[in-house]
Structure 1
Amino acid sequence: MKCIITIELGTNGVRIFAFDLSGHVIGSMKGYYPSFHTEPDYSEQDPEQIFITTLYVLKNLLNEYIHPKEYKVSCICFSAAMHSVLAVDRNGNPLGNAITWSDNRAKQEAWELRSSALGKSLYAATGTPIHPMSPMLKIAWIRNHDKERFRQTSKFLSIKSYIIHQLTGEYMIDYSIASATGLLNIHTVTWEADALQYAGITDAQLPGLAPVSATAGKLKKAYQQSLGLPVETKILIGSSDGCLATLGDGAKGEGEATITIEDSGAVRVMGPAVLKDEQMRFFNYVLTEDRYVSGGPTNNGGNIFEWFTRQFGDFNNPFDIEHSMQQLIEEASRAPVGSDGLLFLPYLLGERAPIWNANARGVYFGLNIKHERRHFVRAAIEGIMYEIYSIGKTLSEQRNIESLSVNGSFGTIPFCTQLIADMFNKPVRLRRKFHSVSFGAWLLSATEMGIYKTLEQAARTVELPDVYKPDEQHHAVYADYFGIFEKLSNKLFDEFEAISNLQHKHAITKYTST
């Protein structure tokens, strides 16, 4: 019996699924790794810890589900979060930690570039919004502020490129992850000369470009032996988590949109053309050379409610975060729709779409003497969903959205899914207890193996049986409060900048005084 394994390198951990050739899950496992926030606006991860965790989880899954049942692994397909940057030396050794998508240290470079003619030209060519998330800007920051690391760097990699290099010895990056770097011309699918010049690098300092269905070499002999995998096991380079989540939900074209809320979140559409926007609010990433995934991301998804839970939840067991989150969600359900006028701006990590403001901060607004903890809990969840709705509302200026699907561990919590349906006033489809990124990777693998002729044919097989229908009265309440949420997000621009500058000023003072 043959099987396909998918490896998703997510923000807070690695998820590994095993599927049979009919798309049924044989087994799955997850391993966790931390992010480090050593200074304001910094977000980093240890690449060696990610690699060791990935190997550990993969070996355990093979030993528990695959080898005892004598499955033969035909293919291992990778997916990963976007916008990571890891500098390595000429021997492939990391020069410090990987910088993740949520890192905002390059906000000054982003601000200057975004307001320039070059910034507008680069956005049109690359489809990547001018924001500190962009690896192009992260590399520019290293060049400007960490000159010794920049001098020693042989290549700048994504986390996925690093993991694949460790396993196979090949330096490769798929079109999808590459199109989120700000360095790839998505129209010619080649590295963009003006972007390279801005970052101060050459294309020789980047991994080789490859389509998402490309084979990323063979496993090194040491890993063939330790994992018990044959030499012919195909290593598929795969795509980004966002593109595969959209594929895994069966989104095919006009009228369909997919919402993902995991740690971060996004609203995405798929189509044969890029979305052009003079305000540079949308991303346009390559799935295949004639198929683009477009939309807007938020920094602040399930990670914000997890933060809220750790600060204000009740813990019988200090490690039982999921039980504490569920208790708070049940408490939120006892508060009225709209939280009696208490609003929460969830911008604890700055924000990307649609305001693209790395200085944005979290705010509770509308607090009065009658508000209780249940209102704070519900307002926190509603704030995350208002932000998702604001992306969808902006996206609907460019594309007609008639149907929605939702995926991600936070978005598919029934309470949250119903909030999405009510805010958008549209039915929302999903498969609970199913991971769309991994299934998208299975669809990609199955297409590459010839089970499907095209990705479009593969997407047509996706079924989303669960439907949440909107409550129009709830929608009316949310529509009223969303108007205030939207105004606050833009009106507080100067105050966001001022508090960020003060935080930076006093952080420097504290550092120099110690």
Structure 2
Amino acid sequence: MKCIITIELGTNGVRVFAFDLNGRVIGSMKGYFPTFHTEPDHSEQDPEQIFITTLYVLKNLLNEHIHPKKHEVACICFSASMHSVLAVDKSGNPLGNAITWADNRAKKDAQELRTTAFGKKIYAATGTPIHPMSPLLKITWMKNRDKERFRMASKFLSIKSYIIHQLTGELLMDYSIASATGLMNIHTLDWEADALKYAGITTARLPELAPVFTTAGKLKKAYLQSLRLPPETKILIGSSDGCLATLGDGVKGEGKATITIEDSGAVRVMGPSVLKDEQMRFFNYLLTENCYVSGGPTNNGGNIFEWFSRQFGDFTNAFDIETSMQQLMEEASKVPLGSDGLLFLPYLLGERAPIWNAHARGAYFGLNIKHERKHFIRATIEGILYEIYSIGKILAEQRAIKSLSVNGSFGTIPFCTQIIADMFNKPVKLRPQLHSVSFGAYLLSATEMGIYKSLDAAAQTVELPGVYKPRKQNHAVYADYFNIFEKLSVKLFDEFEAIGSLQQKYSVK
């Protein structure tokens, strides 16, 4: 029996799924890799560690679920988180670590560019908001402040481009990942000249652009032997995690939106036109030609609750973060919604949508003598979800949203899903098996193989039977607290920047 393998290169690990041709899961595995914060605003990952982890997880899945049952791998399709940058030399060797989406080192460059007419022109052409997350700004930072690495760099790759290059020797970047770099024109489907000039590079220092259905060569002989795969195994370049999560939830067309809350988070819609916004609050990324995934991302999703759990959770077993998080959730469920007046601004990693402020910081507000640990737990969860709601609120100004779906390991926790339904005052759907990105990669692969006539046809087959219904009385409470949350996020702009400046001034090197 033929099967499809999907490989998702996420923020904190790699997920590998195997699907039969009907979209049923045969098996799945996950491996983890760390993010390094060596300096304030720096977020980096070791590309070699990511590659080795990917190979390890893929090989284990093949050996445990595929080869023993004589399944034939027809296709391996990749997805990845967006905005990563890896400089490599002429031989393709990494020049240091990869810089991730969460890195804010280019915030001064972003702040300067965002306020100019030239910045607005680049945003209109590329669909990528002017923010330090953007590879455009990361490469610019490198040009100005890491000049030796910039000079030595033969190519600037994404993590996915690097992994595929290691496996096949091909240097490609799909339209979807490229549309999130701030370097590609989403209307002409080519690298954008103004953006390249600003970053100080030419197309020769970037991979070749390719549609998401592109076959990225064949596996090198050594990996064919190690993985025990036939030479004809197709390697699909695939897409970005955000676009595939949207496709995997069947969110293609009017009236639908999807919420992802993994480490980071986003609210997205998909359609044939871009969202135009003078304030440059939305992204517009490509899945395929004339198919745009639009919305807003947050830096601060499940990673913030994991941070809270590590600092303040109880660990029955050493390093058992998942059990600790579950126990904290149970404790939070005993607190009235609104956390008895305690609010949390979750901006521990700065923030993208809707405030687009890399200087933003976390804060608890409304603290009084009666608040206990359980209130902090619930306030932290609610703060993360208020931020998601703030994105959805401005997105609803542009597109009618009649139905919501939710995906991601944090968003699909029942306690959190119900809060989302209450905040948005809309029913929230989710799939019984929580793997929207991987399922989107399956739909992409199946469409390329001819199982579906088009991605539209593939999206129409998606069924999300699980539904959480909103409770109107809860929505009214959350609306009142959100009003204060929203005001605080803007009122503290000057203080966010001031405390960051003091940290840099007095930090011990």
TM-score by length of 2: 1.00
Question: C-alpha distance in 2, partners of 1:38/1:74?
Answer: 41
Question: C-alpha distance in 2, partners of 1:129/1:254?
Answer: 23
Aligned match of 1:446: 446
Assess if the C-alpha contact under 8 Å between 1:6 and 1:17 holds in 2: yes
Aligned-pair CA distance for 1:433: 3.4
RMSD: 0.5
Question: C-alpha distance in 1, partners of 2:74/2:434?
Answer: 22
- One-letter amino acid matched to 1:317: N
Assess if the C-alpha contact under 8 Å between 2:432 and 2:465 holds in 1: no
1:104-503 residue pairs with structure 2 within 5 A? 104-503=104-503
For residues 277-304 of structure 1, the C-alpha deviation after alignment (integer angstroms, 9 at most, x for no partner) is 0000000000011100000000000000
Aligned-pair CA distance for 1:432: 3.6
Question: C-alpha distance in 1, partners of 2:291/2:146?
Answer: 37
Aligned-pair CA distance for 1:504: 1.4
Runs of at least 5 residues in structure 1 that lack an aligned partner in the other structure: none
Question: C-alpha distance in 2, partners of 1:503/1:86?
Answer: 28
Aligned-pair CA distance for 1:503: 1.0
The percent of aligned pairs where both chains have the same amino acid is: 82
DSSP 3-state at the match of 2:375:
helix
Assess if the C-alpha contact under 8 Å between 1:8 and 1:16 holds in 2: yes
Assess if the C-alpha contact under 8 Å between 1:412 and 1:432 holds in 2: no
Assess if the C-alpha contact under 8 Å between 1:41 and 1:103 holds in 2: yes
Question: C-alpha distance in 1, partners of 2:503/2:165?
Answer: 39
Question: C-alpha distance in 2, partners of 1:92/1:357?
Answer: 34
Question: C-alpha distance in 2, partners of 1:86/1:213?
Answer: 23
For residues 201-253 of structure 1, the C-alpha deviation after alignment (integer angstroms, 9 at most, x for no partner) is 00010000000010000000000000000110000000000000000000011
1:56-67 residue pairs with structure 2 within 5 A? 56-67=56-67
Aligned-pair CA distance for 1:462: 0.3
Question: C-alpha distance in 2, partners of 1:305/1:394?
Answer: 24
- One-letter amino acid matched to 2:66: I
Question: C-alpha distance in 2, partners of 1:159/1:101?
Answer: 11
Question: C-alpha distance in 2, partners of 1:45/1:251?
Answer: 31
Aligned length: 509
Assess if the C-alpha contact under 8 Å between 1:85 and 1:99 holds in 2: yes
Question: C-alpha distance in 1, partners of 2:243/2:506?
Answer: 40
DSSP 3-state at the match of 1:16:
strand
DSSP 3-state at the match of 1:463:
coil
Aligned-pair CA distance for 1:196: 0.2
For residues 127-154 of structure 1, the C-alpha deviation after alignment (integer angstroms, 9 at most, x for no partner) is 0000000000000000000110011000
Question: C-alpha distance in 2, partners of 1:116/1:20?
Answer: 50
Q: Which moved more, 1:313-322 or 1:131-140?
A: 313-322
Question: C-alpha distance in 1, partners of 2:72/2:83?
Answer: 33
DSSP 3-state at the match of 2:39:
coil
DSSP 3-state at the match of 2:87:
strand
For residues 172-196 of structure 1, the C-alpha deviation after alignment (integer angstroms, 9 at most, x for no partner) is 0000000000000000010000000
Aligned-pair CA distance for 1:51: 0.1
For residues 398-453 of structure 1, the C-alpha deviation after alignment (integer angstroms, 9 at most, x for no partner) is 10111000000000000000000000000000014320000000000000000000
Question: C-alpha distance in 2, partners of 1:249/1:503?
Answer: 42
Aligned match of 2:15: 15
- One-letter amino acid matched to 2:20: D
DSSP 3-state at the match of 2:292:
strand
Question: C-alpha distance in 2, partners of 1:198/1:245?
Answer: 32
Question: C-alpha distance in 2, partners of 1:326/1:371?
Answer: 21
DSSP 3-state at the match of 1:328:
helix
Assess if the C-alpha contact under 8 Å between 2:432 and 2:464 holds in 1: no
Question: C-alpha distance in 1, partners of 2:316/2:357?
Answer: 38
Question: C-alpha distance in 2, partners of 1:249/1:445?
Answer: 15
- One-letter amino acid matched to 1:76: I
Assess if the C-alpha contact under 8 Å between 1:12 and 1:32 holds in 2: yes
DSSP 3-state at the match of 1:242:
helix
DSSP 3-state at the match of 1:287:
strand
Assess if the C-alpha contact under 8 Å between 2:410 and 2:416 holds in 1: yes
Question: C-alpha distance in 2, partners of 1:330/1:248?
Answer: 30
Runs of at least 5 residues in structure 2 that lack an aligned partner in the other structure: none
Question: C-alpha distance in 1, partners of 2:403/2:250?
Answer: 12
List 4+ stretches of structure 1 deviating above 3 A: none
- One-letter amino acid matched to 1:278: E
Question: C-alpha distance in 2, partners of 1:31/1:168?
Answer: 22
DSSP 3-state at the match of 2:300:
coil
